[in-house]
Amino acid sequence: MELFKTPVGVGALKLKNRIVMAPYDTGKAVNGCPSEEMIRHYRERAKGIGLVIVEHEHVLRDGMAHARQLSMARDDVIDDFKRLTDAVHEEGSYVFAQISHSGAVAKDSGLPPVAPSAVSVRGSDIPVEMNQDDIRRVVKGFADAAVRAKKAGFDGVEIHAAHGFLLNQFYSPLVNRRQDEYSVRPMENRIRLHLEIIRAIKEAVGTDFPVAIRFGGCDYSDNGSRISDIPQAVKAFEDAGADLIDISGGMIGSRRPGHTEPGYFKDMSLAAKTAVSVPIILTGGITAAQEMESLLKEQAADLIGIGRALNMDAQWAVKALAGY
């Protein structure tokens, strides 16, 4: 049997295979809730998948990425999300909610964006530098969102700490100018908020509810975050209670300029695997079952995330499992 068809444990869960539907922003939410079209989208793609990670939901209104993004910031979204999780479960897959705050790049909320420092990110307006009260509010926002996700039937949550969003802004030397305990140096400071959020979620939902973190481990830029930083960071995440590490790009986003090869972030995932015992997800440029199998045999990761290929072909996983 091919390795990608074999089970793998994530916290208390046992996934039936190593195929992950990577979070991919469809922009199909209506007032922060999954629309009928979105629910169909996930149901169709859940067939054959070991784990579905639903596109990011903002945890606070001032962290909204755009007007058609999902929200996990209000109690009145729970029933609508329950319809989505039911649909995925009926297809035999586990499903995680990806919870996020956009920080400096937040839009459409009507509120001023907040960030670790008053520095523009990807051409954004200058955000408000967060104070201690703002930081505590964000930690609580993530924990409250995780509680809502659990009530909505999700099997776990993934903290979004990649792609230039708020937690990635704290981690990246390119935009973090703070001089307090959340400064970019030493490492303990730059991941302090990540660890506070992991611990707060675990306290709120219990240790048997898996917590993943999507980690933007490298900016691939002069003076940015480095691959050599990854082992220390992911080991701290694991020690704080993270059950799964999902590797992706830092301030560069989900693509790596100049690279189109399958698993183009595998230099990061390999670095992460040297430091932790929890499973690692690798996503990026993987479009064929043979590519997935090769990366698993290389031990570049324990699970493989499929994003754009699944978005384009709802039957991708079914075809991969059937061998065509």
**Domain of 64: which CATH number?**
3.20.20.70
Count of the separate structural domains present in the chain? 1
CA–CA distance, 221 with 8 (Å, rounded to integer): 34
- The torsion angle over the Cα atoms of residues 17, 23, 28 and 30, rounded to 10 degrees, is 100
Query: pTM score, two decimals?
Result: 0.98
CA–CA distance, 216 with 95 (Å, rounded to integer): 21
pLDDT in tens, the chain (324 residues): 699 999 999 999 999 999 999 999 999 999 999 999 999 999 999 999 999 999 999 999 999 999 999 999 999 999 999 999 999 999 999 999 999 999 999 999 999 999 999 999 999 999 999 999 999 999 999 999 999 999 999 999 999 999 999 999 999 999 999 999 999 999 999 999 999 999 999 999 999 999 999 999 999 999 999 999 999 999 999 999 999 999 999 999 999 989 999 999 999 999 999 999 999 999 999 999 999 999 999 999 999 999 999 999 999 999 999 987
Q: Tokens 């995330």 map to which residue? A: 305
Domain coverage including residue 213: 3-322
In single-letter form, the type of residue at position 21 comes to: M
